[in-house]
Structures are given as C-alpha cells and as structure tokens.
Structure 1
Amino acid sequence: MDANGYSDPFVRLYLHPNGGKKSKRKTSVQKKTLNPEFNEEFFCTGPQEELAQKTLLVSVWDYDLGTADDFTGGVQLSSQASGEHQQHWRKWLGRTDHQLELWHPLDE
C-alpha cells in the first residue's frame, strides 16, 4: 500500500521454464485501488504435453514510479502443485476452447 492508502497493482505472468519474452506477460496498472479488476486475457500456445510440464507463476505487484515495484503476493499453478492450485492447472490444460476463471488467495 502506498502512502495515500491505495495501491497501483498489476500482475506479472511467467510460464516457466521457458526462455524469451514470449513466456512473460504483464497486465495494465490499475491506479489507486485496493480491489483491482483486470479483465484481461492471455493465451499460451504449444502442445498440451509441453504445457503440462510447465509452471505458471502469477505475481501481483504494486507499481512505484521512480523506485522498485513492491511484491504483493503470488501463486504457482502446475501439475506438481497441490490442492486447488493443481486442480486449476489441470482444468486450464483441459479447457483449451473455453475461458476459465478461478480465484486463488495469494501466497507471500
């Protein structure tokens, strides 16, 4: 949270392991809010067998002008994860023709 009591959050997505900029995405910054709604879509391409071996790292950051952005929290989705994180990953891999929206609490 910034000194004004708000945050300027954005989300970074990284499909790991994978080299290059194609595996990294970032949402727009939502200014002065503690309850952001991004409503943005991202797409991954490639054989399902390859995607199943990767991990999707989702991290939330507070944008700061002139200084380093502040890490707020994140989540890792993969077939090696446990509980809802693993279930979400498997649902995502199995639904290539549909939009999937699920909620996860952020880990510190």
Structure 2
Amino acid sequence: LTVGILQAADLMSMDSDPYVKIQLLQGGKRLKKKKTTVKKNTLNPYYNESFSFEIPLEQMQKILVAVTVFDYDKIGKNDAIGKIFVGSKATGLGLKHWSDMLANPRRPIAQWHYCILLISVL
C-alpha cells in the first residue's frame, strides 16, 4: 500500500508549520505510522511525499488509514488541524477513495478530502 501526501490547502491559521501523520489501523490498534516533513510558515503546504506499507492482500479489507494534519510546535504539544479516514471501515469519501483504489490495482487514485489535503492511494 502506498499513500501519497500531495498537498494541503486553506488550513486553519495556527502557527502555520503543518505536517501530516499517516497511521495504519486494524481493529482499533495502530500497526504502523509515518509522517511528512514539517512545512514552515504556510497554510497551503506542498508535500509530494509517498509512504509505502507492506500489507498482505488478505489484510487490505481490514486496514483503516488515518491521515491527520498537525501544526508543529517546538515547545508543547502539536495541535491537530484535521483528520480523515480512508479504508473499508471509513464512510463517505474515505470509503469511496478506498473502493476506487481496490478496483484499480497499481494505479494511483488521487482525491481531495474536505479541503484539508490531497492524497493518493495505490
């Protein structure tokens, strides 16, 4: 499974140092996590970063991908700006994105998710 974080747009104004964390979940437990670089002083960051995860085909229907945009803080806790879920247990656009990806193996399927970020799932 390859998750591409392409860009975000019109993020909430905070300290403006956003990054994205991708978590693979199964049965409510986190299996793996990865994150993008921090983009300084922007509400419209461009990432174009891809993250690959080794998932057995028979496990794909059980995986839920949580994608969270955070505002990086040097001191204190990083603030969550927004979060979406993509996977067979997701709803709405997150479920449609996952279904489109499964129906088109080895082809990247890019989709904007609620004006937060553009991600591609392969």
Contact 2:22 2:65 in 1 (8 A): yes
Deviations 1:4-33 (A, max 9, x none): xxx00000000002555xx10100001000
Counterparts of 1:61 and 1:19, CA distance in 2: 18
Deviations 1:29-86 (A, max 9, x none): 0100000111001112222220211110000000000111011011011212222110
Secondary structure at the counterpart of residue 51 of structure 1: helix
Aligned to 1:80: 89
Secondary structure at the counterpart of residue 77 of structure 1: strand
Q: How does 1:11-90 map to 2 (within 5 A)?
A: 11-17=20-26, 23-90=32-99
RMSD over aligned Cα, in angstroms?
A: 1.7
Uncovered stretches (5+) of structure 2, i.e. residues with no partner: 1-13, 117-122
Uncovered stretches (5+) of structure 1, i.e. residues with no partner: none
Counterparts of 2:99 and 2:41, CA distance in 1: 34
After the TM superposition, which of the residue ranges 57-66 and 97-106 deviates more from structure 2?
Answer: 97-106
CA distance 1:94–1:76, shift in 2 (3 Å)? same
Q: Which has the higher contact order (CA 8 A, sep 6+)?
A: 2
Tell me the number of residue pairs that the alignment of Structure 1 and Structure 2 aligns: 100
Whichever structure has more strand as a proportion of its residues is: 2
Q: What is the one-letter code of the residue matched to 2:84? A: V
TM-score (norm 1): 0.82
TM-score (norm 2): 0.73
